[in-house]
Amino acid sequence: MQIYVVQQGDTLDQIAATYGSSVQDIINANELNAPNQLVIGQALVIPIIGEFYFVQPGDTLSSVAARFNISVEELATVNGMNANQIIYPGFRLYIPPGPKEPITSNAYIEPMGEEVSQTLETAARNYTPFLTYLGLFSYRINRDGTLTAPPTGNLIQTARENGASIMMSVTNLEGGEFSTEVGHIILTVQAVQNRLLDEIINIATEQGFRDVHFDLEFLPPEDREAYNRFLRTAKDRLSQAGLLISTALAPKTSAEQSGQLYEAHDYQAHGEIVDMVVIMTYEWGYSYGPPMAVSPVNSVREVVEYAVSEIPPEKILLGQNLYGYDWTLPFVQGGEAARAVSPQQAIQIAWENNVAIQYDNQAQAPYFTYTDTSGQEHEVWFEDARSIQAKFDLIREFQLLGISYWKLGLAFPQNWLLLNDQFNIRKLEEEE
């Protein structure tokens, strides 16, 4: 796959000709509803085998080969050149595809209400081929240790048909919010804890789930050790039942990080006890906060650098959002919540308001501002092919287990194309 950023005056015909693709292939890959409505600054994925690189000032065959981790001889051969040949700015070099690396991928799916919506059923059908796990969010813990299950519709069957294993996400959500009190009860009342683990094992074995995923948030800081003890007990019992265990962790940058989100999450202990962790590296930009990138790569990197010092990297799934936000300006603390938008919606908003998409190189994230029909200013931050590629590069750099998406339901076709193009998705059934 090739990532291309639309410039002033570009047409799909010109882009397709430049990269030896076809207009229809580009339309299909990027799910362009109106192919003539390109936005300046919009990132497109060009479906070709390998990619092209346009020589920049100062480049040599040797430096380009090193950049793409191939030999000078191979680069010269595939381009019909001599290995000592001088290359000039603007010259197009073909870069052959490298080997695909294995990756574990998870995506949470959150059915709401009494039934699974058709949107989520379709998302599961379209994207479980690219997933190791489909994380059913969530089985909510009641104060007596029983569980309230989400509607599942055809999700479990669809996942199995596409080789994805089911992750049973267990939370201390109560009334739509994470409950500190429910968390405390689970971790400190033995009878409730026993009932909870009994129920989890019964449901997981009956439904054929593979992983039990504890997403316990807003826990009292003083329950840190109680949470660790609970996980050790859960690990013993779940392992006996043939089940994996995983946890969701707040994005910390040090063991001493303060705040109720962080203090009860002991990175070192989780790394020792559970089979894998999902680090929730998103929501720097969030619905009630000021406008900024949802998962800026510079901030994500700081979390990963700390995480790998406490947790084996082969146990870490990097959290990644599949959405962005549209903030109404000026931002007022405690005011109106930003509207969640898919990457596709964000591009449509930019086109409708005739504004170019900018790119923050430090955060590695696209954004733009616009004024709506009522004269209100807005700021939009979202994800595109470039921002997701930055996260893939981070996963490779730190040799992490893989990636975990929050959450299915908003369209981001480029992510799935790039994921499938660059990695071999692990399927547990195939490995056994």
- Specify whether 217 is catalytic: yes
SS3 label, residue 172:
coil
Contacts of 391 (CB under 8 A, 6+ apart): 295, 297, 300, 318, 320, 403
Contacts of 315 (CB under 8 A, 6+ apart): 271, 274, 275, 276, 277, 401
Q: Which two tokens stand for residue 101?
A: 């690396």
The CA distance from 415 to 396, in Å, is: 16
Give the H/E segment covering residue 207.
helix 190-207
CA atoms within 13 A on the CB side of 261: 11
- Annotated catalytic residue within 31, 73, 161, 217: 217
Assess contact for 416 and 123: CB atoms under 8 A.
no
SS3 label, residue 210:
coil
The CA distance from 199 to 23, in Å, is: 53
The CA distance from 292 to 271, in Å, is: 30
The CA distance from 408 to 130, in Å, is: 12
Q: In whole angstroms, what separates CA 72 from the centre of its chain?
A: 34
Assess contact for 223 and 188: CB atoms under 8 A.
yes
Residue 69 phi, psi (nearest 5):
60, 45
The CA distance from 46 to 352, in Å, is: 24
| DSSP secondary structure string for all residues of 61-130 | HHHHHHHTT--HHHHHHHTT--TT----TT-EEEE---PPEEEEEEEEE---SSS--HHHHHHHHHHGGG
Minimal CA–CA distance to 338: which of 407, 290, 281, 410?
A: 290
Task: Please list the active-site residues.
Answer: 217
